[in-house]
Amino acid sequence: MYRIGISGSYGGMNLGDEAILQSIVTQLRRDLPVEITVFSRNAEDTKARHKVERAVPVRKLSRAEVLPEIERLDLLLLGGGGILYDADAKTYLREVQLAQEAGVPVMLYAIGAGPLKDPATQSLVRDCLNPVELVTVRERRAGKILEDAGVSRDIVVTADPALLLEPEPLPEGALAKEGIEGRQNLIGMSVREPGVAAPDLDQDVYHALLANAADFMADRFDAHIVFVPMEHSVLDTQHSHAVISRMLRAQRATVLKGEYTSGQVLSLMGHFSFALGMRLHFLIFAALQGVPFVSLPYASKVSGFLEDLELTAPPLKLVNAGRLIAYLDQCWDGRREMRERISEGLPALKERAKETHRLALELLARREPRREPQAA
């Protein structure tokens, strides 16, 4: 029985992060006899949502309290997700430091990085990552950010584990309860809050930009706009309503109210004709369902995903209402070509996502699994 720990931004706060964890857990269970421990911000949610054997409320525990949970592992996976940035890198690297002190192998699992500009944080990242067994990142720019921070070891570019997520059935009557059953030309939209991972985001600017775009799509495409909160319990819902409050066609917009799993949101995306979004995993879900989309790239992780699919987007800092509307009009007319491009680009991305798991299996192959003691 291999004992594997997974540490990241888990605990039911963000459906994108939960999609990552679900994909990692699914692959491990498929190929190994495994006991999984997740170091989570909400251990109860993680245990219920993912049915893992162990979940540790890592933010509530001291180093001394976490260390025994680390020492029992055969491998610690840090990631995936964009967890190495100035504000929180120290928090996420604590378990890496403990594993290194305990002699437990560490693998960085398709992580994102940045912004990473603080010299002290760069030094910490460099000191923690150079000794680990393997570093994989989900996009090229994350690797460059780590190199700029002083990480000198080999860095393997794979892809986001959420690309391997499978759809799950929606709850019975979900579309009717959301008021979107039978509607034509549903267009999904995704916002995000300004915060430590997006410190340069001006909410007044992007609220006005999205409201104007939503009004245009409602009129021009005869569409109903569906806002999809990826962080339902935090601020995505409030920011969605803030955008709607600026719309002239507010009656043509809806914010999802139900509580859904990542796989259910992926299924729901299949009902959309088009999408406009900011959050990376909203865009990944759209791509997985073959839904043409326009992105507002606020961070390198979003730009990196678009580059992998060979899609373009107007940079958020440079776009204005007129430019975005013109681009939306062009992309709506080119939906067929966009679907074809997504369909052509996804298989290679999925293979890169699978490569992260294959590399983890290679690491474990060098280490004997723990044997349970024989009964007397």
Helix (H, G, I), strand (E, B) or coil at 332: helix
- Topology agreement, domain 2-157 and domain 174-346: yes
User: Taking 90 as the threshold, does the pLDDT of residue 320 lie above it?
Assistant: no
Instruction: Evaluate whether 316 touches 298 at the Cβ level (below 8 Å).
Output: yes
Superfamily of domain 174-346: Glycogen Phosphorylase B; (3.40.50.2000)
At residue 255, the pLDDT reads 97
> Tokens 């990480």 belong to which residue?
151
Q: 260-277: b or e for each residue (b if 16 or more CB lie within 10 Å)?
A: bbbbbbbbbbebbbbbbb
At residue 13, the pLDDT reads 87
User: Taking 60 as the threshold, does the pLDDT of residue 57 lie above it?
Assistant: yes
Q: Residues 160-180: pLDDT tens digits?
A: 999 999 999 999 999 999 999
User: Taking 80 as the threshold, does the pLDDT of residue 355 lie above it?
Assistant: yes
Helix (H, G, I), strand (E, B) or coil at 275: strand
The whole-number average pLDDT for the span 232-248 is: 89
At residue 376, the pLDDT reads 41
Q: What is the mean pLDDT of the chain?
A: 93
Strand blocks (E) in 114-208:
134-137, 156-157, 186-190
Q: Which DSSP symbol is given to 304? A: H
The whole-number average pLDDT for the span 290-305 is: 85
Q: Per mean pLDDT, which range of 156-170, 293-307, 331-345 is the poorest?
A: 293-307
The whole-number average pLDDT for the span 76-88 is: 95
Helix (H, G, I), strand (E, B) or coil at 159: coil
Question: Which uninterrupted H or E stretch holds 75?
Answer: strand 75-84
Helix (H, G, I), strand (E, B) or coil at 359: helix
User: Taking 90 as the threshold, does the pLDDT of residue 195 lie above it?
Assistant: no
The whole-number average pLDDT for the span 246-265 is: 96
Describe the strand order of the beta sheet including 293-295 as a list of residue ranges.
Answer: 253-255, 224-227, 186-190, 274-277, 293-295
User: Taking 50 as the threshold, does the pLDDT of residue 231 lie above it?
Assistant: yes
User: Taking 90 as the threshold, does the pLDDT of residue 206 lie above it?
Assistant: no
Q: Under CATH, which architecture does the 2-157 domain have?
A: 3-Layer(aba) Sandwich (3.40)
> Tokens 């605990």 belong to which residue?
11
> Which residues fall within 8 angstroms of residue 300, CB to CB, at 6 or more apart?
114, 139, 141, 142, 145
Domains of the chain, by residue range, sit at 2-157, 174-346
